[in-house]
Amino acid sequence: MNFSDMFGSSGQSGSSIKPPDMKKVKRYVIIAVIVVLALMIGTTSWYTVNDKEQAVITTFGKVTDVNDAGVHFKIPFGIQKVRKVDVNVYHRMELGYRTDGSDQLGYSVVANESKMITGDYNIVNVDFFIEYKISDPVKYLFSSYDPEEVLRNLVQSQIRNVVGSTSVDAVLTDGKEAIQMKVRELVTQTLEIYDVGIMLTDVKIQDSEPPTEEVISAFKSVETAKQNADTLINQARAYANSKLPAANAKADSLTQNAEYLKQKRINEAIEKVAMFEAMYSEYKLNPDITRSRMYYEMITGTLPGVKLYIDMSEGGVQKLLPLENFTGNDLINNTTGNNTSGAPTEGSGE
C-alpha cells in the first residue's frame, strides 16, 4: 500500500461525513435566546401584593404608582422597580429595653434610653414601648433616610420632656396614664409637622423604677400604703352606703312628723281663732252674761276640785246654785245628791 492509496482512502472516508447545517444551528440559538428572554420577562414582569401591603412603583427612580393587594404588571430589566411596604400592620418599637433574650429575664436594658430626671430632680428608669403604622408608603420610603430612627428620637425627646415636668411620685405610681396620653399627643403633633409617613397609635410605660434597690423598696412601701388607704376608703364608702338608706328613711320620717305637727298646730290655731271669734260674737250680743260665764269658767279652771255655788239673793231669801262645768253632767249629779226634788240646800254654801 502506497501513500496515495492511503490518502485516497482517507479522502473518500472524509467525504462520507456531512458538515453541520449552520442555518439550523443559528435558528436553534435564536429560539433558545427568545425562550430565555420570554422566561426572564415572564418571571420579572409580574408581582403580587398581599392584603397587608402596598407596592410603590418607581420608573427610572421616580414614583409613578402605588398598588394595593393583587397581581400586577411592571416593566422588566430594571426600568420599573417595586418596593413593598407593610401598611396594615402594627409595628412595635421598644425604648429603654430590648426583648432580645440576651439575659435570664429575656430582655436587655438600654440605660441611655431609660434613665431620666423628673420634675423634682430625681432620677428614674422608665421603659416604654410604642405602636405605630405606616400611613403613607411613599413618604415612608422617600421623605427621610430612616423614618423609624426619626420616630425613636422624637419619642425619646417627648418622653424626657413630659417626665422632666412630672414629680417622681407620679412617674412611679399613679401618673403613668397621664404621662402616656401627653407623650402621645405631643408626638402626634410633631409627626404631622415632620410628615414621614408614620402614624403613632399607642404609647405604653412598660416599667418605671428608681435606680437603686433602697429607693425601690421605699417606693414599694409607699405604694402598698396607698393601696391600703384606698382599700380602707372603699370600705368606709361601702359602710356609708349601707347606712345611708336607713338614715335617709329616718330623716324622711322625722320630716313628715314635723310637717304633721306643724299642720296640727296650724289647725289648732285656726280652731282657736274661730272659737274666739264665735265667743266674741256672743259677747257682743250679751256682754254681761258672757263676761260672767268666762269668769266662772276661769275660776273652775284655776281651782280644780273646788265646788262653786252662785248666790242669787232676792227678797232676803238666799238661793245657792252649784256651778260645775257648763258642758259636763256633774252639774245634775252634784245638785241632786240626796235631794230628789232638785231644790238647792240652804245654808250649805262654801
DSSP string, 77-107: TTTEEEEEEE-SS-EEEEESEE-S--STTS-
CA dist., res. 287 & res. 293, Å (int): 10
CA dist., res. 174 & res. 163, Å (int): 13
CB 209 within 8 A of CB 216: yes
Q: What is the pLDDT along the chain (350 residues), one digit of tens a residue?
A: 444 444 444 444 444 555 566 777 777 778 877 777 777 766 677 888 999 999 999 999 899 999 999 888 888 877 889 999 999 999 999 998 888 755 555 678 888 888 898 998 888 999 999 999 999 999 999 998 899 999 999 999 999 999 999 998 888 888 899 999 999 999 999 999 999 999 999 999 988 888 777 766 777 787 788 889 989 999 999 988 888 888 888 899 999 999 999 999 999 999 989 888 887 887 788 787 777 777 777 877 777 776 666 665 555 444 445 545 544 444 444 444 444 434 444 333 33
CB 60 within 8 A of CB 74: no
- CATH class assigned to 91-211: alpha beta
b/e 283-319 (16+ beta carbons within 10 angstroms → b): beeeeeebeebeebeeebeeeeeeeebeeeeeeeeee
Q: What pTM value is reported for the model?
A: 0.53
> Which residue has cell 423628673?
118
Which pLDDT value is given to residue 314? 56
